[in-house]
């Protein structure tokens, strides 16, 4: 179990999502979702497949425009100042692998230039060292194992020292040992760099281990919010997984509740 900040919600807000909605014709993908992520806080975004997690993340990343609502990253309105807002964020997702025809170092340099990182050579060297990628520096990313690709994606996600880090199932394709290492690394990132992290995962064990707070999303709505270590007890479930399954199966029967 990692050390969690005693009061994760007291820090500066790095992500503020207010009244976020996304509809496609008659289909409501995300409905009136609001939440904040603070500095040094790891927030888990949980929910069954199709709950609206990735849609929410895509709207925060600016690759999908909301039907209504707003996203502020580091206090900057994404809709009004897209480039400035996105300069404060970065992400890693299992479904968005880096170009496989570029080497590790080339990918980091390319994305570093796109982010406009000063002293890029030094930053790339730091990240290569930090993520133990020295041996793989000149290997094409398409030839790396899942665990190695995850490390490269995380290195890319830290290039711009983001205030907000979005991680969509970062351990999904990893073996338990590699997943454990990645979890430890991400947890320490929040503490050491002070960034806020929004994390999606289907692994309730790792959510309990890493997240300071979780948001349960179902049918595009937040059903429940709170400390993943206390929520099961508060709702009469033995484990977070049991609570997750209950909410996923009977989301509409559950009262909408926002625990602190």
Partner 1 sequence: MRLKPVAGILLRQFYLIRGSPIRSLPMFAWVAIDIVVWGFITRYLNSMAAGRFNYVPSLLGAVLMWDFFTRIMQGVSTAFLEDVWSRNFLNLFATPLTIAEYILGLVVTSVGTSIVGLAVMLVLATAVFGLSFLSLGSLLVPFLLVLFGFGIALGILASALVLRLGPASEWLVWPLPALLSPFVGVFYPLATLPRWMQAVGHLLPPSYVFEGLRAVLAGRPFSAGSLALGAAIAVLDILLASYFFARVFRYAIRTGLLARYSAESAA
- Binding residues (CB under 8 A) for partner 1: these are 24, 54-55, 58, 61-65, 82-84, 86-87, 89-91, 93, 95-103, 106, 109-116, 140, 156
Distance (Å, whole) CA 30 – CA 151: 30
Closest to partner 1 by CB, 101 vs 239, is: 101
Nearer to partner 1, 91 or 244 (CB): 91
**Stretch (H or E) spanning 70:** strand 68-73
CA atoms of 175 and 103, how far apart (whole Å):
23
Shortest separation between residue 109's beta carbon and partner 1, angstroms: 7
Shortest distance, position 256 Cβ to partner 1, whole Å: 26
Q: Least distance (Å) from partner 1 to the CB of residue 147?
A: 19
Compute the C-alpha angle 218/220/226, nearest 5°.
Answer: 55
Contacts of 31 (CB under 8 A, 6+ apart): 21, 219, 220, 221
Cβ 248 to partner 1, closest distance in Å? 23
146-157 and 176-193 are packed helices; what angle lies between their axes, rounded to 10 degrees? 10
Residue placing its CB nearer to partner 1 in the complex, 142 or 176: 142
Q: Which is nearer to partner 1, 3 or 95 (CB)?
A: 95
d(CA 246, CA 237): 9
How far apart are CB 235 and partner 1 at their closest, in Å?
Answer: 33
How many angstroms separate the CA atoms of 100 and 36, rounded? 34
Q: Which is nearer to partner 1, 140 or 246 (CB)?
A: 140
Closest to partner 1 by CB, 51 vs 231, is 51
| Least distance (Å) between residue 115 CB and partner 1 | 6
Q: Which residues contact 12 (CB under 8 A, 6 or more apart)?
A: 38, 39
Report residue 249: phi and psi, to 5°.
Answer: -85, -35
């Amino acid at each position: 179990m990692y050390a969690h900040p005693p009061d994760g919600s007291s820090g500066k807000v790095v992500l503020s999502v207010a009244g976020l909605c996304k509809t496609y014709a008659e289909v409501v993908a995300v409905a009136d979702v609001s939440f904040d992520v603070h500095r040094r806080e790891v927030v888990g975004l949980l929910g069954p497949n199709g709950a609206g997690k990735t849609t929410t993340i895509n709207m925060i990343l600016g690759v999908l425009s909301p039907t209504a609502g707003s996203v502020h990253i580091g206090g900057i309105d994404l809709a009004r100042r897209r480039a400035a807002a996105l300069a404060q964020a970065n992400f890693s997702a299992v479904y968005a692998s880096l170009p496989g025809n570029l080497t590790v170092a080339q990918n980091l340099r390319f994305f570093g230039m796109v982010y406009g990182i000063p002293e890029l050579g030094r930053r790339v060297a730091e990240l290569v060292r930090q993520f133990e990628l020295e041996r793989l520096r000149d290997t094409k990313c398409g030839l790396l194992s899942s665990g190695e690709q995850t490390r490269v994606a995380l290195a890319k996600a830290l290039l711009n020292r983001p205030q907000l880090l979005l991680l969509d199932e970062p351990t999904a394709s990893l073996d338990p040992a590699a997943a454990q290492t990645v979890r430890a690394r991400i947890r320490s990132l929040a503490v050491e760099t002070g960034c806020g992290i929004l994390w999606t995962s289907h692994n309730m064990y790792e959510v309990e281990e890493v997240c300071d707070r979780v948001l349960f999303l179902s049918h595009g709505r937040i059903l429940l919010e709170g400390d993943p270590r206390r929520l099961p007890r508060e709702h009469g479930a033995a484990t977070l997984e049991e609570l997750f399954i209950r909410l996923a199966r009977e989301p509409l029967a559950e009262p909408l509740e926002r625990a602190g």
